Amino acid sequence: MSGVKLLGINGSPASRRVEWALKIKGVEYEFIEEDLQNKSQLLLESNPVYKKIPVLLHNGKPIAESLVIIEYIDEVFEGPCILPKDPYDRAIARFWAKFLDEKLPAVWKALWSQGEEQEEDKKEAYEVLKVLDNELKDKKFFGGDGIGFVDIAANFVGFWIGIVEEATGVVLVTSEKFPNFCAWRNKYLNCDQVKENMPSREMLLGYFKSRVQAVANGPK
Amino acid sequence: MSGVKLLGINGSPASRRVEWALKIKGVEYEFIEEDLQNKSQLLLESNPVYKKIPVLLHNGKPIAESLVIIEYIDEVFEGPCILPKDPYDRAIARFWAKFLDEKLPAVWKALWSQGEEQEEDKKEAYEVLKVLDNELKDKKFFGGDGIGFVDIAANFVGFWIGIVEEATGVVLVTSEKFPNFCAWRNKYLNCDQVKENMPSREMLLGYFKSRVQAVANGPK
């Protein structure tokens, strides 16, 4: 055994990022599904600062934060490179992965807020999507011709966002507004790597629909 | 010449992080002081996403985001290592540098807000400082026996915070509350590397005092 455990959640984008990296490297690992309402002692001890998933345990030593974990996996295990080899390209990939981590909460918020607040949130989300659309001009993937670090980091906008849109009825992404982004997403969703590394669409759609229902019912 | 230019601000912690990394590596560079009220065309073109300093230009190719720039400098130039060599230690250093980037705005806010809002902000700032204090238990520096990536990333809490405290009269850091953090800061401030890589204390104190005055006078 490789001595690798991953504390995660099946439907979490951050958790799936790490699983994807492990699969690219062909690393065997034990996946431990966490219950966020009742976090395990192992999670609390392994990530005392944030108490959040995902956490990778390698020979008992914990690492938190999905992007940090992916860089570690890329450095430690044999197999195809996840980050670019060239230092300049690697810096640019780190820049975009950081951008996604920082800006995704704004996109998420615009999918769930309501009324006037949502109009403001949508403006911010459109700004984020516009930047991504612009970066994808003349590019097949963020990583160039193949999927790389940034495409893995972008799994929320690639896969989850469409499902949340369907559940909430709030549509942010259209091919009129963001043609390059949509072209990327089509290629992304049809790529074997993505199909093999995403949770069930039906399961997520059911989950988000129940969340929409809970919001509509309001606090009890 | 090394072909290295840095677009920055003399008194900016993010900008100083990068200068420090360049000096550790012994890289000659041209520093270009930006005027944030009237940003140069070079800055706007080099960092179109954020339009912020610092930006490193290496042979004309731009990189933004101070931590991303430092990793690039560490990979590309000869000289002492800034990040640890061991991949696990490197992951832990990246975790803490990211923590600092994410949490410093809360500390900054607590130094400037007022009244009830400040009481709430202080609680959050204390949480951040408590986490750092705990991490520094039994450690000389974040990097172990010597200064490393995280200590460079921590230049705001190591140097700037005391100056802002003096200017605003808001004291967050005491040795009773944060003994390990204060022990680290004393060693930090007395270390040659820090003395050589920080802006003038008097200049910053004057700047922050004038800012306090501007806040007291209110909007015109």
Q: What is the pLDDT of residues A80-121, one digit of tens each?
A: 999 999 999 999 999 999 999 999 999 999 999 999 999 999
Strand A30-33 and strand A4-8: the pairing is parallel
- Domains with residue ranges and CATH for chain B: 4-76 (3.40.30.10), 87-217 (1.20.1050.10)
Partner B contacted by A85 (CB < 8 A): no
Please check the confidence at residue A143 and state whether its pLDDT lies above 90: no
* Cβ atoms within 10 Å, residue A162: 18
Partner A contacted by B216 (CB < 8 A): no
For residue B109, give every residue at least 6 positions away whose Cβ sits within 8 Å of its Cβ, in sequence order, or none. Answer: B121, B124, B125
* Residues on chain B touching A131 (C-beta within 8 angstroms): 49
- Residue B118, exposed/middle/buried by CB under 10 A (0-12, 13-18, 19+)? middle
Please check the confidence at residue B72 and state whether its pLDDT lies above 80: yes
Please check the confidence at residue A190 and state whether its pLDDT lies above 70: yes
Residue A179 corresponds to which tokens in the numbers above?
Answer: 């043609």
Q: Considering only CA atoms, which of A174, A141, A2 is closest in space to residue A79? A: A2
Interval B62-72 mean pLDDT:
98
Q: By CA distance, what is B85's nearest residue in A? A: A75
Please check the confidence at residue A218 and state whether its pLDDT lies above 80: no
Give chain B's mean pLDDT: 95
Q: Considering only CA atoms, which of B172, B169, B174, B171 is closest in space to residue B215? A: B169
pLDDT grade, residue A1 (50/70/90)? Answer: low
Report percent pLDDT > 70 for chain B.
98
Q: What is the pLDDT of residues B143-170, one digit of tens each?
A: 888 899 999 999 999 999 999 999 999 9
Nearest to B91 among A72, A95, A98 (CB): A72
Q: What is the pLDDT of residues A61-82, one digit of tens each?
A: 999 999 999 999 999 999 999 9
Considering only residues A147 and A2, tell me which one the structure prediction assigns the higher pLDDT.
A147
Distance from C-alpha of B138 to C-alpha of B144, rounded to nearest angstrom: 9
Residue A217 pLDDT: 85
Interval B57-82 mean pLDDT:
97
Please check the confidence at residue B57 and state whether its pLDDT lies above 80: yes
pLDDT grade, residue B218 (50/70/90)? Answer: confident
Handedness of CA A75, A77, A79, A80 (dihedral sign): negative
Q: What is the pLDDT of residues B176-211, one digit of tens each?
A: 999 999 999 999 999 998 998 999 999 999 999 999
pLDDT grade, residue A18 (50/70/90)? Answer: very high
Partner B contacted by A215 (CB < 8 A): no
Distance from C-alpha of A191 to C-alpha of A22, rounded to nearest angstrom: 18
Strand B30-33 and strand B4-8: the pairing is parallel
CB B142, CB B191: distance < 8 Å: no
Mark which residues 13-72 of A lie under 8 Å from B by CB: 49, 58, 61, 63-65, 68-69, 71-72
- Phi and psi angles of residue A193, each rounded to the nearest 5 degrees, phi first: -55, -40
Partner A contacted by B154 (CB < 8 A): no
Residue A206 pLDDT: 97
CA angle at residue A82 from A139 to B46, to 5 degrees? Answer: 50
DSSP state of B137: T
Residue B216 pLDDT: 83
Q: How far is CA B68 from CA A3, A47, A64, A90, B50, in A?
A: 30, 24, 19, 9, 14
Q: What is the pLDDT of residues B105-146, one digit of tens each?
A: 999 999 999 999 999 999 999 999 999 999 999 999 998 888
CB B59, CB B30: distance < 8 Å: no
For residue B202, give every residue at least 6 positions away whose Cβ sits within 8 Å of its Cβ, in sequence order, or none. Answer: none
Residue A220 pLDDT: 58
Residue B215 pLDDT: 84
Please check the confidence at residue A35 and state whether its pLDDT lies above 60: yes
Partner A contacted by B78 (CB < 8 A): no
Distance from C-alpha of A23 to C-alpha of A105, rounded to nearest angstrom: 27
* Residues on chain A touching B69 (C-beta within 8 angstroms): 91
Residue B98 corresponds to which tokens in the numbers above?
Answer: 């990211």
ipTM confidence score: 0.95
